[in-house]
Amino acid sequence: MDSARQTVLSVHQRIVDNGDKRTDPWLLVYSPVPVTLIFLLYLFVIWAGPRLMKHREPFELKVVLIVYNFAMVGLSVYMCHEFLVTSWLLNYSLLCQPVDYSTSPLAMRLLIILRKKNNQLTFLHVYHHSTMIFNWWSGVKYVAGGQSFFVGLINTFVHVIMYSYYGLAALGPHMQKYLWWKRYLTSLQLVQFVLIVVHTAYNLFADCNYPDAMNAVVVGYCITLIILFSNFYYQSYLRKTKKQK
């Protein structure tokens, strides 16, 4: 028992020691423990929430959804602007930008459960949002800056459009006629992942002072998302079209 405890503590210490020291004071970044607890809480809510709501009436959360989604639009716009402006001012290279080590999303899942929209809690949904917790933590902890700016920039841009759609949809059924572009939102997400794979894979073979291990993880992860989102697109749009014919 003591040996296992020492092993866990040793691994934890290595994770902490090998991180970017500039990020140590940042909230939730120094240790993997807080994000791991958030991840476990997320899985617990996904498991227990539908069971607690099984014999209850769904909550009417229209106002909450509208406020939440448009707040996310505002936050995404701000983050996209910051990624764009800071990378532009620092003359970041699109093809190769090393990390300068010098000293110079989960509320929506709860809303889905309370509204008893359990059909939206798909494997894609849970996989994507639970793994993103660790992905972004790892990015901030070990490669805060450099080449990773591209992922943040394109991701926040897509989220501006995505949460705009959710916010408009939350206004009510009368908005559905204006939301014909839903399938193109999924297409945009797929384009995002393809661009990230191409951009990151290039750095695996280029002479760029950026961690190859991080590039490999990003490429592998985005490939899984391309597969899952492609399946979602097929099941939601192409297969339905065939059945209607």
Residue whose pair of structure tokens reads 């092993």 in the numeric block: 7
* Catalytic (active site) residue 55: no
Residue at token pair 């620092």: 90
Which residue in the list 81, 125, 128, 199 is annotated as catalytic? 128
| Alpha helix segments (H runs only) across the chain | 2-17, 33-53, 62-89, 107-114, 123-142, 149-170, 182-205, 212-233, 239-244
Give the C-alpha separation, 179 to 89, whole Å.
Answer: 36
Cα–chain-centroid distance for residue 81? 18
Which DSSP string do the residues of 103-122 spell out, in sequence order?
----HHHHHHHHTT-GGG--
Positive/negative CA dihedral, 176, 179, 183, 186: negative
Q: Which residues have a catalytic role annotated?
A: 128
